[in-house]
Amino acid sequence: MSTPVSPSDWRAAGRWRWPEGLLWLLAFALPALWPGHALIVNEIAIVALFAVSLDLVLGYTGIVTLGHAAFLGFGAYCAALFAKHIHPDPVLGLAVGVVAATLLGALCSLTILRGSDLTRLMVTLGVALLLLELANKLDGLTGGSDGLQGVVMGPVLGRFEFDLYGQTAAWYSLSVLLLLFALARRWVHSPWGATLMAVRDNPLRAAAIGISVPQRLAAVYTLAAGVAGAAGALLAQTTGFASLDVFALERSADAVLMLVIGGVGWLYGGVLGAVVFKLLHDLISAWTPQYWTFWMGLFLVVLMLVGRERLSPARWWRARGEGA
Amino acid sequence: MSETVLQAQGLVKRFGGITATDHVNLSLQRGARHALIGPNGAGKTTLINLLTGVLAPTEGRIALLGRDISDLPAHARVARGLVRTFQINQLFASMSPLQTLAMVVSQQRGLGGRWWQRLGQDAAVMARCEALLALFRLTEVMHQNTAALPYGKRRLLEMAIALACEPKVLLLDEPVAGVPAGEREELLHTVANLPADVSVLLIEHDMDLVFEFARRITVLVNGAVLTEGTPEQIARDPQVKAVYLGHGEELRA
């Protein structure tokens, strides 16, 4: 009596398709084709990873935050300190940054379990400010407002030295982005990921079908913190530097902007948003260095009023069932 | 023969100076078809919220299948088989009915923590989803966005979600409220055909449905139990008639 569920449908949403493969190939080819722009590719890969991490929290689970930079910054400082004092190996340092940020995320997740969106906004903002001030005060360890300097990294996997043009850095960051993007994609298309969306859509009903809402909030916040920590570690390692601005409100706010530009609750939204945001930033500030925020602001107002749906390819992409 | 599956004893809920639930005792037998009626503001939904753990009672205990669940959070009560529907649809707007049910069935089967599998990969889960979609006549709209479904279909999905939780005790909070006449029959049909071993507590204003469905009726007035009995007893009860004065003709003897 029942119609069988057609196989070419929603379950295919999590599968990789060839246009995506091409996009990633292009991304990996850019530092070689265009060595002068390897540094910006590296930068974009890092902020894209940070935006993807925020999407898990904000887009998929609906946890409103303005303090996601807490984990970016913590990952950055931990990786930088590890490289400076313990071992210069990048992959080892990356792991240290991820583990440290994950632990911090687990601790901070206790602060976002209760309260309204406004409560969460303020609490997350507060935690990031707290860490910023701590990093400022503990100048013996962190270098305070001068930043943590003199971070010298070893070669990636003992083979690929970081070069002046940033080619190695770009490939390293892109590889980590791809790896964690694939992992995040697995998460959001799993039964577990669906329960996150249930929590976002309707926490009351989510509890009424047996989902422990606090447990889901804590789990996704912790995991996303780890991903943000990876972005932070990459930032510190590829620039050889960690400064207080990694904890700054602008970092968190920029990531929210990128998600809004690219589309929330859609992993490529973070990547797309990062690309558009960084390119706009570069283009506008090359053209009018002092007033780039004016144009960025104008772009945002137009985007929100006209509607992202009508401007971005996200809708078109999704309508064809190729959503990530 | 009859086994008590859900028992509430001395439930009290006060909001400030208002007593919304006043020393309510209620017990449901296995396979019960029990209705909870009462005028607006009698505290029916508050009682459901207390039973399911959405609200914490001021006083009183609740036992499910012989175990005290008074201190369990809502989601843990669901895991033990106490499931509800909502008077106002509580759905997952961004998901399709199929995704919703696949998620609920996965969660019910303890797969809700699986992050390495794809949703819908499990054949047993999908078979259950197909059966539920067919039962609730949602098969043709299973890929549509829930937010875009007609009201009647959303109401059916509301109930399908609850059944996907494999309830032992099901609390239905006005399941046909606001459903257009044409779609009512589908819902009534599914309510009537719920598995015989599932105990059902129905809150409903529609007296035709109540008297057709229930084998026992509890009347709630001002948060307290006025009386309880078979439909015949309730229909003849002068106290109940007094409470429903003006609606008296709705109570068929």
Inter-chain touch A195–B98, beta carbons under 8 Å: no
Query: Nearest CA to B193 among B137, B123, B129?
Result: B137
pLDDT band at A182 (very low <50, low <70, confident <90, very high): very high
- Rounded to an integer, what distance in angstroms lies between the CA atom of residue B174 and that of residue B170? 12
The pLDDT tens digits of the residues spanning B155-170 come to: 889 999 999 999 999 9
Q: So what's the pLDDT on residue A287?
A: 85
pTM here? 0.89
- Per-residue model confidence (pLDDT) at position A25: 92
The domain locations on chain A are 15-319
| Chain A residues whose beta carbon lies within 8 Å of the beta carbon of residue B164 | 209
Q: Which tens digit of pLDDT belongs to each residue from A109-156? A: 999 998 888 999 999 999 999 999 999 999 888 888 888 888 888 888
Residue with tokens 């850019």: A30
What digits encode the pLDDT tens for the residues A42-99?
Answer: 999 999 999 999 999 999 999 999 999 999 999 999 999 999 899 889 999 999 999 9
Per-window interface: B 82-121 vs A, CB < 8 A: 83-84, 86, 90-96, 98-100, 102-104, 106-108, 111-121
Which of A202, A261, A229 minimizes the C-alpha distance to A93? A229
A241, A73 Cβ separation under 8 angstroms: no
Residue B117 has pLDDT above 90, yes or no: no
Check CB contact under 8 Å for B102 and A204.
Answer: no
All structural domains of chain B with their residue ranges = 4-90+168-250
Q: Which residues of A touch B75 (CB under 8 A)?
A: 207-208, 210-213
Q: Is B72 in the A-facing interface, judged by CB distances under 8 Å?
A: no
Rounded average pLDDT over B224-234: 92
CB within 8 Å: A190 and B116: yes
Give me the sign of the Cα torsion angle A191, A192, A195, A200.
negative
pLDDT band at A13 (very low <50, low <70, confident <90, very high): low
Most confident of A47-56, A111-120, A237-246, B38-47: A47-56
Architecture of domain A15-319: Orthogonal Bundle (1.10)
Most confident of the ranges A19-23, A29-33, A177-181: A177-181
Structure tokens at B183: 């779609």
By the 8 A CB rule, do B210 and B37 touch?
A: yes
ipTM of the complex: 0.89
Q: Where are the beta strands (DSSP E) in chain B?
A: 4-15, 18-29, 33-37, 59-64, 67-68, 82-84, 169-173, 199-203, 216-221, 224-229
Residue (of A8, A47, A41) closest to A24 by Cα position: A41
Q: Which CATH number fits domain B4-90+168-250: 3.30.930.10, 3.40.50.300, 2.60.290.11, 3.40.630.30?
A: 3.40.50.300
Instruction: Pick from B48, B64, B75 the residue to mutate for testing the A interface (most A CBs within 10 Å).
Output: B75
Answer yes or no: is pLDDT of A10 > 50. yes
Contact (CB<8Å) B99/A10: yes
